[in-house]
Structure 1
């Protein structure tokens, strides 16, 4: 049957492709307390987004918005279900998950990062994933240790 004999809305719907699932990390889903709370809030926000999308008048906009919100809801629900809450570190002797570390790069730049789970990592906000090359180089180290990251020497100057 020609598309000319089908309602326009149905023809457009037939052309749409379901969005692929957001990729899930293969690494353990370690989270801090704040990371767990952020995942819980993301699920709440996504549920609200699905409900809001279902109320859109335009069928094409509604379909697209529901698909996007539902995809995010599936992702964050899965991340919340697989979350492994890690307690706050109790010692500042050796770098561990959850610590804030201060480093000095070989060019003199001083930077501080908190080592967190993948979903809460945002270097612009001062957080890095525990699985990032920098974090993996620092975990298990002590203040004063020098580490090589991508051919650059970094000194660990503080653990908080």
Structure 2
């Protein structure tokens, strides 16, 4: 086969310009977690570690740090923990965080997630609708608190 018809991969060693990271809100705790993750990569060699360091540098550089709450807010907002109960009496407690520190397994949800968007601005006693792929679910806000450290 002639080499004229073989596509050379000239991007394998070329510097690739990364798209800019959009500004994003993050808590002081979230920034500390990202910085710690970046620091663990400091001594590692290889393309994968280098790419992850570059990604984390971009994310940290675009972070808008939102100061931790010092008092319980009147309405659900970034950084607070929201207690809700559904029509079946099941309760749930979620902490609203930035997208880079979200951990659904620990109910640390991004304010931009479907449940986060439904909760932001809600006050105790309000009912919000959580639109999920499996259907809508109405939740009553029963408490607002500061997150556990």
**Category of TM-score, reference length = shorter chain:** 0.7 to 0.9
Count of residue pairs the alignment pairs up: 130
TM-score (ref. length: structure 2): 0.76
Deviation at 1:21, TM superposition (A): 9.1
Residue 5 of structure 2: aligned partner? none
**Larger relative strand fraction:** 2
Structure 1 unmatched ranges of 5 or more:
1-13, 51-65
Residue 66 of structure 2: aligned partner? 86
For 2:27 and 2:21, the matched residues in 1 are separated by 17
Higher Cα Rg, which structure: 1
1:41-97 CA-to-partner distances (Å, cap 9, x unmatched) read: 1111122233xxxxxxxxxxxxxxx11111111111111101111012333211110
Q: Would you say the 8 A contact 2:85–2:141 is kept in 1?
A: yes
**Larger relative helix fraction:** 1
Alignment partner of 2:85 out of 104, 114, 117: 104
Residue 148 of structure 1: aligned partner? 129
Cα–Cα, structure 1 residues 25 and 135, in superposed 2: closer, same or farther, change >3 Å? farther
Q: SS in structure 2 opposite 1:48?
A: coil
Deviation at 1:22, TM superposition (A): 9.1
Structure 2 unmatched ranges of 5 or more:
1-8
Alignment partner of 1:43 out of 38, 41, 47: 38
TM-score (ref. length: structure 1): 0.71
Q: Would you say the 8 A contact 2:21–2:62 is kept in 1?
A: no
